[in-house]
Each structure stands twice: as C-alpha cells, then as structure tokens.
Structure 1
Amino acid sequence: MTQRWIDVSPKHWFYRNVLEVDRLYLDHKKENTVIQGKLYNKFITGKSRTVHNFTTTEGQTSFKIKNYKPDSRELVIIYIDGVPYPPSKLESGIVHVGFPMAGGKEVSVYLSGVVDMKKGDHTPANCQTYPLTDTCELAYPSKKLEMAGRYVFSPYYSLNEIVVCMGKKLKRVNVMVANGESIQAALTRTIGHKRDCFTIIQGTLYVSYNLNGFPLLVNYNYKSGAVIKNRQKEKVVATSKCAMYNDRFFPEITVPRAEFFVILQRLRVNLYNKFTDRGYQPKVVAKTERYLADRNKIVGKWYDEDVLNILDEKFNDGCYVFPLYEDDSFQPEVCVTRAEAVVYLHRFMEWALERFR
C-alpha cells in the first residue's frame, strides 16, 4: 500500500512539520485532516502510475518490468510481504533490490509515475502550479469475485467479510445504493477519497483509489446449496482504468491566497473544536459580514465559505485578524508571497493565543 504522502520523506527539511500538522483532525472520528491531498490522475506520456506484482524465486534480487525506464521524478517502492524497501539500483527494464530473497515472497513494485503539471511562471496573473486531472470517467478499483453469483451478504455475517492488503486489514464500509443511483455515485458519496477501504456489492469487490493494482486477500460468504460458507483468502487485484489519487503533498507547488486561507481556516476549525464546548459553528456565505471590494470573486467558488468565515475573525479589540489590500480587496487567485505568508501565520498565532489561552 502506498504511504500517506509518497513525496514527503525523512530526508526533506519539512518532514516533521508536515507530519505534525497531518495529525490534526477536524472530526472526532479522525477521518478529516487539516491538510488535504491535491487530487491528480494525469501523467506524462509513458510514465503512468503502475503496480507490478510478483512471487519471488529463491535468491531473486531483481524484477523485470517491461518498458520501464528510470526517471528521477518517479518514486519506486518495493513492497516485500507488505514491508516497503527502496530499490538498490534502477536500470532500463529492471528494478533491483539490495539483497537475495527467499522464494515464495509476495512482492509489489510500485511506480508512482510522473504527474502532468500546470506550471505557472510566478507572475501574479499566472502564479499557480498544480497537478492536472484527466477527463476520463472515474471508477473505483474493482474485481468480480469467483463466487459472485452465489455471494451472500447479511449483517449477521458482516464480520466474515475481510480484505487484507499486504498484511493490513482494510476498513469495511457499508455502501447503500439508492434507487436510481449508480454504484460509482454511491461509492463516491460513501467512500470518497478515504484510504484503505472496501465494500462488496452484488459479488464485486470495490476498494479505495489508493489500492488500485495492489494484491488483496478476500474473505466473504457465499451459498452452497442451503448452506452458507465462507470463502477464505481469495487472491484478487482490483483495478481501474480511471482512478483519482490524493497521496501526494506536492511540496513545491505554488498556491493562490484563497487556498492558503483554506488551510488557516481548517486550523481555526480544529482549535474551536478542541477548546470550546460548542465546537466550530460556521456562518453561511450570506451571513458573513466583512466588506470586501472583490467579494464577487470569492462567492460561488469552492473556497467561499472557508475564506469568508476566517476573514470575519477579529481580535478582542474588534480589529480584524487578517489585513486586506489598501483598496479593501482580498485577491483570492493571486499567489501568496513569503512575506504575506509570515504575516498571516504570525497574526493567526497571536489571535489563537488571545482567544484560547
């Protein structure tokens, strides 16, 4: 299974900070983190995300992958019985591991691919750099089970449904498909971009996007005559031709001011939920009060409620926490400068200390 952020490792100077912030949640179930992944599923030609599965022979030290070419922009991870290892050497068509392996080991070689990016030139009008998404029809990774025609589900037997990916037991999600609703729509509504989840619908296994291409062991119930039996450890690989991924932090991309304020707002929500009895109570967009000269550039965008709510926040003396430009504009699509980021973070810290100490 791929890690939470495949592009954040201990060698990076920001590693500890990202992990600390990533442990902050907005909900008691600890499913909605302050930092969200950037969605992506478009790759440069010849460098798509792929998973190659093998069973080792005694003493094996390398894996042949057709048409593979090393690329410094691509991450390669070798999972041996679920334990990740870096490759010892990469060459055309071959990925090497640094030690001989015993026979019969289940190995997955994960190639992250090279994401196609929209690259800005750092001018105010074109400052954003972000990953691109394809226009293909999204589909969760799936696989029809061997006993699909005789598959049986009952709440009484739900504990018998187990899926394991490289030693980790996945979370089972009960997906109810409404009348007239497609299975994909029901999965999107229920699973969304949660990781390491599964469900079985009409004998077909569906899993989270991040598990696309990885080997799975599945236990489920099926009818044999008048008897309910449990199928044990059926080995499958659930795949999708159009998945959506969110396992990259993208530390080098530039973001607009609105997106930076969404992160601050999520931190604000975390503090209200942690240190107040009522928790965070958002205002609807129409109820936000602050005058903004370019409010029309914010309303109707994906970030409008977050941005307009945090811009309403004040210190105890009644002054707004975050300054606007001299013409009272916010300019949501202009990228933040380093100086602005420092000012915003400092004022956020001052407000948090004053509000919650």
Structure 2
Amino acid sequence: MGNNWYEVNNIEEVISPALLVYPNRIEENIKLMIEISEGPECLRPHIKTHKIAEIIYLQLKYGITKFKCATLAEAELLAQCGVQDILIAMQPVGVNIERFFELVIKYPNSSISTIVDDEEIRDKINTIAFKMKLHIPLWLDINNGMNRTGITPNKEAALFYQKIQKSTNLVAKGLHVYDGHIHESDFNLRKEICDKDFELVLKLKNQIELLGIKIKTIVAGGTPTFPIHVKRNDVEVSPGTSLLWDQGYAYAYKDLKFHTAAVLVGNIVSKPDANLICLNLGHKSVAAEMKFPRLKILNFENYKSISHSEEHLVIECFESEKFAIGKVCYAIPTHICPTVIKYNKVLTVKEGKITGHWEIAARDHVTNTLHKN
C-alpha cells in the first residue's frame, strides 16, 4: 500500500468498477456537521446520498434523531433502523399515497411525515386518515426560488396551511423549504442570497401566525446553506452530501471542510492511440449528467476527459506511457448522489484494508415489503 489515504492493499483483487467508502472519514464528517450546527438537535440529515443503514446507525450514535428522505424505500429503511422522526420530502401521489399509509401503519413507533403543496393531495390524505382513524403530520412545501416543488409563499399559502391545521386528521408540522438553487461558491454571497430568499419564508410565517397558528419548526436548506440556516431560531437543517462528499462540492465550497469518504475504483482497459487511455468508468459507473470533468482521478496527473459512454471513459494523458493496461485508478465522482445508486453495495475500507461491505439498502423505489402494483 502507498502513503495515500485512499489506497488499498491488494486492490488488484477488487472487481472493478467498485465504490469504496471510508467509515472513519464518514464519522469525521458527522462530527463536523454537529460542530457546525452547535449540537445535533437542529440536524435532520438527508439520506438520499447514501441510502445505507450503517451510515444511519453512525449518525444515531452521535445523537442525531431526526432524518429526511426522498423515497418511501428510504423512509422504510429509516424506520427499520429505529428512527422515530422521519420526513419524506416528496409529496405522495398516485399509488404512493396508499403506500405511504402502509408505511405509517407498519411502523407505529416512527412518526412518518411528508410534504404537500397541492390542495387535492392534502384533502385526500385527510380523507384516508379519517377513515383509518389516523392523524398524519404534514409540512407545507414552500418554493422560495428553486422553482422545482412547493407553493409560492403568499397569502394563499397561509390559507393553505390554515386548512391543514383545521383538518380533522392532519397535524400541521411546519414549513419545508429547499433552496438548492443557491450554489454560490463565495460564502458571503451565498449567505446574502440565502437570507434574502428566506425573508419570503419568514414573511409567510408571520402571516400564518397572524391567523393564530404557531409555526414551531421550519426545515430548510441542503449542504451548501445549512451553515447559514443553523443560526436561525426554530429551524432544522438537512445536509446530505456532507456525509460522503464529492469533487463538485469540494471544488465549489471551499468553506466546507468535509472529507472525501467515497472513492471509485476502475482500471485501464485499453490504450487506443498515442496519449489516449480508456478506463472502465462509464455512465453505468459514475454519474454523467454534468459536463466534464465527471470525476477526479487521484493517482493520475496531466489528463483531461475526451469522451464518456456507457462502459468507457476515454482520457487524454500525455504521460500515458507510464500506465500499463490493467493499472488501477482511484477517482472521486463530481456528483456522488447519483453515483451511489449505480451500485448495490459499497466496500468499506479501514487502514488500507477492505473490511467488508454495506448494502445500499434503499437503492430501489420499491421495497419487498411495501405494496407493489
């Protein structure tokens, strides 16, 4: 083994492509999340990045008790891990409304809530809850600039929330605001935009409270903005990428000192021309939705990506003669979240040794135990 933190003994025996994770570095990232947040109380980490039970247990070990997720499969994984407060940050529609109720019934020891921004969905959930003699906690999803989901924070939104409060079988939990449109690298500029956009949310909060309804909690932000939101009162924050980190965030957010805790392993499979090297890290192995570079190769220098297809990544490297076919490469993906779901398990590494594997348990949208059509 070399002197680099990511290198593994007997790496030649690992079937590639593979995704490695480093539990000690994940723990350091959890500690940093808690340090930035001045305690675990306001943390509600998102699990969409990793979808792994062992990483949930690590966070529970450090006193984090509330979590956020994007799918019903992720929610079930959290419930199976004993999490008592679970927020599904995706409005249920179609058959997923039925599946949501199945989950609520199956895991009575977990409080499972979700978000809404549509009156018909809100009323349908209330009707089903009434028939089943359940009380369902709901958050009002707010659009404060991302224009992806949520309702505009105005008078109509205040009245919408009032209807949640007055519904027979709904519990109004608070507001949910995701500001993923804010990605300025400069912290001061990021904070300025974040604070400005959040003013709309605070104005809505005041409008709702003038109706005699107390807003106890706002769930806000993702990894880039959670250090800003933690300074506010009655706000929970939801970092997610911070647990594994990736090259995109490492490049964009120098103020966030999280450790890379997930590394791809590939091999040189061909050298089709002078200065060209082909790796087996195609679209099926690493997220490919962004422009080049889609990964950073840790043990190569002076290269650039040329083409990327399903099975292959071709790079131009002016030191290609140094690298034999079969050579192992270690790489950090630019975007870790959609890279993880390309694998059904990750290999764990401690002190340069493969120590086992963790299943990506919530990789699919449908679990074996939830209703399937």
- TM superposition score category, shorter chain reference: under 0.3
Normalising by structure 1, report the TM-score: 0.26
Normalising by structure 2, report the TM-score: 0.25
Bigger Cα Rg: 1
Whichever structure has more helix as a proportion of its residues is 2
Greater relative CO (CA pairs within 8 A, separation 6+)? 2
